[in-house]
Amino acid sequence: MKVLVTGGAGFIGSHVSDMLIANGHEVLIVDNLSSGKRSNIPKAADFMEMDVCSESLVDVVRQMQPGAIMHLAAQIDVRKSVEDPVFDAHVNVLGLVRLAQAAMVAGVEKIVFSSTGGAIYGEQDFFPADEHHPCRPVSFYGASKLCGEVYLDTFSRVFGLKWVALRYSNVYGPRQDPHGEAGVVAIFSGRLLHAQRPRIYGDGLQTRDYVFVTDVARANLMAVESDIQGVFNIGTGIETNVCELAALMSKIVGFNEKPEHLPAKAGEQMRSSIDAGKAHREMDWKPEVDLMTGLGKTLEYFRNHL
């Protein structure tokens, strides 16, 4: 199948592109390289530097005639979404709508949308949260992803577009950016491999559900190759707090100093974990990489690339 991957030069998108190619699919990557890297782009993929909000996107999709679109291009910084909700909505909502419209014009059969499990549910009523948990985002990033799901559902009902939204928990692994507002695993990797103490904001008891990037890529592959539609959580259902994470990573690299604690950041979600039972039942997906193994693979990657 010919597959268009938006954000395919990014952390998750490049792994998705690799897996698609390894399974015989033809891949075109569209990425504006605002956070993605040319070095992440698979040699076997075609590449076009373009913003998903560009009006020219319709022409690109019409010319390519893909059978499916994997939409991973996004504004992913939760704190930036709070500081600038207009920009967040411009990228995450307008970009999605423009892509869906292009898909309809070009006769694309299916869109697989990268959504969020942690940010979309907000402070949870129960753990782990399944897809029926109320969606109460506490950031505009979570709100924009939820809005994207609503738009896709509406495109489906009005025009018959098939769609899947994969609600990821906290994705980590090789190629994640260790700078700026990156995931905590990447940030800790950068500091530990420079013999610097991990920085923990607050008491470090806030929990997250960490899922390895190749497991996420495999979920994308299964979603595009199957007939499933709708919303699916992609996570492990296991909570790990930040102190535990720092201790595990310090142990792997042989770093013996205690983490540095800084004041807590306002508005941070305290607990998060999601139930991926529906993905297991309907597309036989389940996580295969445990946290200790995944952290080892991630640290080895950063050891070779930092």
Q: Which of 121, 141, 172, 210 is catalytic?
A: 141
Best CA proximity match to 219, nearest among 151, 268, 288: 288
Q: List the alpha helices (DSSP H) in the chain.
A: 11-22, 57-64, 78-83, 85-89, 95-106, 118-121, 140-159, 184-192, 213-225, 242-253, 277-283, 291-305
Neighbours of 18 (CB within 10 A): 19
CB neighbours of 151 closer than 8 A, spacing ≥ 6?
Answer: 93, 96, 97, 100
Enumerate residues 6+ apart whose C-beta is below 8 A from 217. 12, 15, 16, 18, 19
- Measured over the CA atoms of residue 80, residue 86, residue 88 and residue 91, the dihedral's sign is negative
Exposed/middle/buried for residue 147 (C-beta within 10 Å: 0-12, 13-18, 19+): middle
Q: Which two structure tokens, joined as six digits, stand for 139?
A: 């950031």
Q: Are 134 and 80 in contact (CB under 8 A)?
A: no
For residue 201, indicate whether it is catalytic.
no
Q: How far is CA 63 from the centre of its chain?
A: 27
Give the DSSP letter string of 130-199: -TTS----SSHHHHHHHHHHHHHHHHHHHH--EEEEEEE-EEE-TT---SSS--HHHHHHHHHTTT-PPE
DSSP β-ladder status, 110-116 and 68-71: parallel
Count other C-beta atoms under 10 Å from residue 16's C-beta: 29
Cβ burial of 159 (10 Å; 0-12, 13-18, 19+) is: exposed
| Residues classed as catalytic | 141
